[in-house]
Structure formats: C-alpha cells, structure tokens
Amino acid sequence: MDHLALRGLRARGNHGVLEREREEGQIFVVDIELGLDTRPAAEGDDLTKTVHYGVLAEEIVKIVEGEPVDLIETLAERIADACLAHTRVQVTEVTVHKPDAPITVPFDDVTISIKRSRA
C-alpha cells in the first residue's frame, strides 16, 4: 500500500464546548495520510486512478468551516469519512490540531489522531 499525505491544512472553525470557541472560532490544522494503491495512476499517468488531493483539501476545509461540533474527535471522524468516500482510499489517518485550545497552562498543541479503514 502506498501513502499520500497532506499536512498542515489550515481552516477556521467554531468547534469546542465553550461558548467563546463557538462565537469567536479558531484555526484548526489538519494532517491526513491516505493508504491506496497508486500503481494504476502511475502506469497510465492518470489522475482519475488516484486521489485528487486538491479536491480533498477543499472538502476538508468545508468540514472544518462547517457545522460546529463539541469535540475534535468528532471533527476528525467526519474528516476520515470524507477521505474514505474516495473509492481508491483503503485506509486513512487523520490528525486534527487545536493549537489555540482554551487551556490555562502553557502548551504547544492539542491533537487527536485516528486511523480508519474500509469495513
């Protein structure tokens, strides 16, 4: 299985359990890794036989900018579902970063990483 990665995708969303997070929003950063067989695409130099990562990036941004959720776990699950909706993707790993989480002590980042595959 080959791996295609998209790292550091940024979008503003209104996710979180606090009212301030829902009203003001914040930047979320998303990393994805897709597991798929890229040989058919490479052999024919054919975009239709792989994943168009530009299209997928736009889909992910719409999810982050879309309907608010309380948990970044839920957000990561929605992104994983969008990745697996691309028929060539067999497995995906999604990491959602929330670097501006409302934590009262110094920190660098909060992340959730999930791995999902076709049933």
Q: Is the dihedral of CA 64, 117, 89, 81 positive or negative?
A: negative
Query: How far is C-alpha 72 from the chain's CA centre?
Result: 11
Contact present, 66 and 59 (Cβ < 8 Å): no
8: alpha, beta or left, given left = phi > 0 and alpha = psi -120 to 50? left
Indicate if 115 belongs to the active site: no
CA distances (Å), origin 116, targets 46, 69, 81, 84, 90: 26, 20, 8, 8, 9
**From 49, 62, 98, 115, the catalytic residue:** 98
Rg (C-alpha) for the chain, rounded Å, is 15
Active site residues: 98
